[in-house]
């Protein structure tokens, strides 16, 4: 799936503002160019009217005696007074022969327009055409005058105006972009606090609420997130309470089932074993052939009693109820040493006062220790497995005060990729038990290179279920 490219909001808005301002500048430059062309066209027409008027009055001056030279045209006046930069005036007599022509081009410094602007200007705008006017003294056509502009004049005037606008616009756009960037940066500063709050909510602190911000849009988003967090907090509290009650009910049901197995099946199996012994004694005196069957019946009864004892231990370790958590963990370690003592050494250490723990907390810690030691024995290939239980009532950290920490650490190969399924399911069960009592679980590499499982459970969370 293709990932969308992320954009910085400040840069995004700044670029949009800059592009908008640039578009306005281009529109302004286009308008100025059109105004310049209109001024040139109007100036050309005005110049034509002046020249035509001057040349039209000359024959009259001949007739009245004001001009004895009888010259047409009086070109010195036109060349001195009406010719300017970039303009060209041509005079033709009645035979369409050019008599006079005067042109004044555009200066080299003024004509230095960029090539790209010249190309664009010539593509968009046609050159201003020449104007022709007939001089008609006494009703006949005596001459024709033509006034035209150098095509470079329009380009140079347009480039001059465009350069002036662009020089002002570039500075204005730069200043405007900086102002917009810092204005948006200041307006978005509350989002940093909102982001930190959302991170806290994502980390599990559902009691946190996003702060009030001055922007209405951001405040609406914050209100929605706060409402969602409140609903989620209530749902999680209900879930934790139900899970806690379920765990207590499950342990109580296991205790009841273990007691029923002990009272009913245990006594019956004991009776069967006693009867098998009596049958064997009678068969020895009366019918020796029945002795093997009696012995076999007694062995089956003993095997079933052992299996029943193991099942009851898994359902509800009686030693936890009778002797407490510390003794149960010592017995757990002793059992593993008895099974794997030749390959793996198991050790248990307890610190602090651990004799007044609530029953629900004690059985939970025992279940977690069972799972942790089993994972270390089966998956770690360790030489040493250390089980530690400590009371944290004297810890300076307020978050761990009044809590119990259980640690299982080994020096094995750590968590291999192919062990994720087996160990992961065990860790998931441990994580669920820890969540019930609002505790913390850490699973990481150990100091000796193996794996380290640390579980911290607050005692107060189990007081109501004692």
Whether 303 is in a domain gets the answer no
Residue 301 covered by a domain: no
- Residue 15's alpha-carbon distances to 175, 188, 291, 339, 445, in angstroms, are 13, 17, 100, 72, 49
Q: Are residues 397 and 326 in the same domain?
A: yes
Same domain? For 169 and 225 the reply is no
- Cis omega (within 30 of 0) for bond into 73: yes
Pair (137, 25) in one structural domain: yes
Q: What is the DSSP letter of 39?
A: H
Find out whether 312 and 258 touch, Cβ atoms under 8 Å: yes
Residue 289 lies in a domain: no
Q: Are residues 37 and 79 in the same domain?
A: yes
CB 87 within 8 A of CB 148: yes
Domain end, chosen from 213, 232, 251, is at 251
Same domain assignment for residues 218 and 139: no
Picking from 222, 251, 280, the residue at the C-terminal end of a domain is 251
Q: Are residues 371 and 230 in the same domain?
A: no
Locate 71 and state its tokens: 């010259």
Provide the domain limits for residue 219: 204-251
Q: CA torsion 260→317→253→363, rounded to 10°?
A: 160
Nearest to 84 by CA among 133, 46, 136: 46
Sheet holding 131-135, edge to edge: 98-104, 87-93, 143-149, 131-135
Domain-embedded: residue 18: yes
Tokens of 276: 């098998």
User: How many Cβ atoms from other residues are within 10 Å of residue 213's Cβ?
Assistant: 19
Residues 91 and 233 in one domain: no
pLDDT at 405: 92
Q: Does any domain span residue 460? A: yes
Are 142 and 136 spatial neighbours (Cβ–Cβ below 8 Å)? yes
Q: Does 453 lie in the same domain as 323?
A: yes
pLDDT at 20: 84
Based on the fold, state whether residues 47 and 170 are members of the same structural domain. yes
Let me know whether 218 and 326 are in one domain. no
Is 405 part of any domain? yes
Choose the final residue of a domain: 251, 268, 286: 251
> For the domain that residue 440 is a member of, what is the CATH number?
3.30.565.10
Q: Are residues 228 and 323 in the same domain?
A: no
Count the Cβ atoms, other than its own, within 10 Å of residue 315: 17
CATH number of the domain enclosing 105:
3.30.450
**Angstrom distance (rounded) from CA 182 to CA 17:** 13
Compute the distance between CA of residue 25 and CA of residue 167 in angstroms, rounded to an integer. 10
Distance CA 79, CA 83 (A): 5
Q: Is 119 in the same domain as 219?
A: no
Q: Cα 301 to chain center, whole Å?
A: 65
Find out whether 91 and 73 touch, Cβ atoms under 8 Å: yes
Q: Which of 20, 63, 297 is nearest to 172 (CA)?
A: 20
Say if 260 falls within a structural domain: no
- Segment 123-139, tens digit of pLDDT: 888 877 788 887 776 55
Measured between alpha carbons, how far apart are the two ends of the chain, in Å? 52
Q: 283: which 2 tokens?
A: 């068969």
Pairing verdict, β 143-149 and 384-391: unpaired
Residue 195 lies in a domain: no
Our count of domains for the chain comes to 3
* Residues of the chain falling short of pLDDT 70: 1-7, 56-82, 94-99, 105-111, 137-142, 313-314, 316-319, 321, 393-401, 414-425, 461-466
């Amino acid at each position: 799936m293709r990932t969308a490219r992320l954009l910085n909001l400040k840069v995004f808005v700044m670029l949009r503002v800059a592009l908008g301002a640039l578009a306005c500048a281009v529109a302004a430059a286009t308008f100025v160019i059109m105004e310049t062309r209109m001024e040139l066209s109007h100036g050309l027409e005005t110049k034509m009217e002046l020249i035509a008027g001057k040349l039209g009055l000359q024959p009259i001056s001949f007739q009245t005696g004001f001009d004895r030279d009888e010259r047409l045209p009086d070109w010195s006046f036109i060349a001195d007074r009406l010719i300017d930069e970039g303009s060209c005036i041509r005079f033709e007599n009645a035979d369409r022969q050019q008599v006079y022509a005067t042109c004044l081009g555009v200066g080299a410094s003024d004509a230095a327009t960029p090539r790209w602007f010249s190309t664009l200007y010539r593509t968009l705008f046609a050159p201003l055409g020449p104007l022709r006017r007939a001089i008609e003294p006494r009703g006949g056509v005596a001459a024709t005058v033509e006034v035209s502009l150098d095509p470079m004049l329009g380009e140079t005037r347009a480039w001059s105006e465009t350069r002036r606008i662009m020089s002002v616009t570039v500075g204005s756009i730069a200043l405007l972009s900086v102002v917009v960037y810092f204005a948006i940066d200041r307006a978005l500063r509350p989002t940093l606090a909102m982001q930190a709050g959302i991170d806290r909510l994502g980390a599990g602190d559902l009691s946190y609420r996003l702060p009030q911000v001055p922007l209405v849009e951001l405040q609406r988003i914050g209100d929605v997130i706060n409402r969602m967090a409140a609903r989620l907090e209530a749902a999680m509290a209900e879930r934790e309470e139900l899970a806690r009650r379920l765990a207590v009910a499950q342990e109580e049901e296991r205790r009841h089932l273990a007691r029923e197995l002990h009272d009913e099946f245990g006594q019956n199996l004991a009776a069967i074993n006693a009867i098998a012994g009596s049958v064997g004694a009678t068969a020895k005196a009366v019918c020796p052939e029945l002795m093997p069957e009696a012995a076999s019946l007694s062995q089956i009864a003993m095997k079933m009693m052992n299996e029943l004892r193991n099942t009851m231990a898994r359902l509800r370790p009686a030693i936890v109820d009778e002797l407490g958590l510390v003794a149960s963990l010592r017995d757990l370690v002793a059992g593993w040493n008895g099974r794997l003592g030749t390959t793996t050494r198991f050790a248990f250490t307890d610190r602090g006062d651990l004799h007044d723990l609530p029953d629900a907390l004690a059985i939970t810690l025992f279940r977690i220790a069972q799972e942790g030691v089993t994972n270390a024995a089966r998956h770690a290939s360790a030489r040493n497995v250390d089980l530690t239980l400590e009371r944290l009532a004297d810890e300076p950290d307020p978050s761990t005060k009044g809590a119990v920490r259980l640690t299982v650490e080994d020096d094995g190969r750590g968590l291999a990729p192919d062990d994720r399924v087996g160990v992961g399911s065990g860790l998931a069960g441990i994580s669920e038990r820890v969540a019930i009592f609002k505790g913390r679980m850490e699973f990481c590499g150990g100091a000796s290179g193996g794996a380290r499982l640390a579980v911290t459970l607050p005692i107060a969370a189990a007081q109501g279920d004692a």
